Structure 1
Amino acid sequence: MRLVRTLSVALGVSTLLAATAPVGAHGIWFAQRARQLALIYGVGADDLDAVKRLPLVKTVTGYDSDWAPVATSLRAAGAIPVVDSDEPVAAVAAIMDYGYWSKTPDGEWHNKGRDEVPTATLAEHNFKYAVHLTQVPTKPVPLFEGHMLQLVPADLAIPQKMGELMKVRVYYKGKPVAGATVMQDYVNDPDEVAPAKTGADGTATIKLRNQGINVLMAIYVGQTTDKKVDHEEYRASLSFVLPHLPE
């Protein structure tokens, strides 16, 4: 599907400081903030500075209920980036290239590849993706251009009650992938002890944890020919809200 409007950036504009937390652990997802849809960067309850990381966002795209493109962009609104669109969107998606990260023997992470950190015990290229559904889809969720890893509902209908089971499928480079991790509540249970793993058909079944926003996260480590890193790590969120009872 053609992307409509991209948030063009130069990834080298801003250099992020070395971090002690595992950078791969963080992801991106969409959630409501003050009645606006915002792009969140973090893990668990850690809602970190997503505005500072806007230069790393390669694209943001919106779609209507027929999956036709809707002109969409991100706008910094104080401490958070919020979604602007020409008309209501049924879904919005984003891609973040988080760049090269190397971990040194002292446990610190540096925003560089192995070529610049030859003593690194681990070197990764991190990519983060997000898809948010603002309503129950009337047509199957398509695969979006540029999303190397994508988590989608395996069935058209999404259960609407907390505790119900939901079947999902993970795609890597456009094909169902086995062995991907699927976390069922990335915000409230980021240290999930036994997350689901996808089978040969790329599917896994999770339990919906919240009668509110649900943030599912797929994680997959892919091989690469890039000599600057040991592998590429992909994190792809799928978020949506289950309705609560009328007030």
Structure 2
Amino acid sequence: MYKLNKIKDFEYLTFPIFDGYDELFHCFTTRKGGVSKGDFESMNLGFNTGDDEEDVRENYYILSECLNINLEDIVKTFQSHTDNIRYVTEEDKGRVMKKAKYTDIDGLYTDRKNIALMSFHADCNAVFFYDPVKKIIGLSHAGWKGTMTNITGKMIKALKDLGSNPSNLKAAISPSLGQCCFEVDKDVADMFINTDIKYKDFMIKKGEKYHFDLWGINKYNIIREGMKEENIEVAGMCTKCRNDLFFSHRGQKGKRGLMSGIIMMK
């Protein structure tokens, strides 16, 4: 489930699973409400996409104004389709318009207030985590490689190291490629199955192609780390099918902008 929100022309999603926690802010942006043009129309948050950098900067200013987020409070991922995660502090803030101080980080987590974790997406899952008991947040960029190697499970283990009980955690899985559109060849299908034979339960064969349910695999990986199924919410929207609302790497043949997942404790 999800809720589509709109401030002026800026549209973003929130997840009802996090309702009632006044100390928590979260969202998943759409492609609506920015100033970028062409393939990047219009709320592109990616500096490395080929878009005009001044347009991207203006998009960040619009996001900041609409969501009442100080850009200096943002800590962003440096994604390379890994399962690497990083604990962040105030020292990592203030680089949203600059290159991060680290590389190859696809997940972030913290127990500090006023740190806005930010990830980037154009078909891949954003997986949000919140522990309302211990006050800990996490955010994973789970592309097919990170999903296969279980970045979400590794995130939960990291949260446990900070004192979380997985049964208290709440999680939400963003829009991404649905099983309808995540089509791979046999070599990639074999990689999934060789990683975990249970992944075969989330696969459908259509002719010579294989379709995997990445939402289901991420949910499976979360549950086996001790989370309750009723504490997991899945948006269930395919970014390629809804290319009107979301950027899609596959749908736009690589010429696309980037959306963001954001989560922060106030």
TM-score where L is the length of structure 2: 0.34
The answer to which structure has the higher strand fraction is 1
Higher helix share: 2
Taking structure 1 as the reference length, what is the TM-score of the superposition?
Answer: 0.36
Higher RCO (CA-CA < 8 Å; seq separation 6+): 2
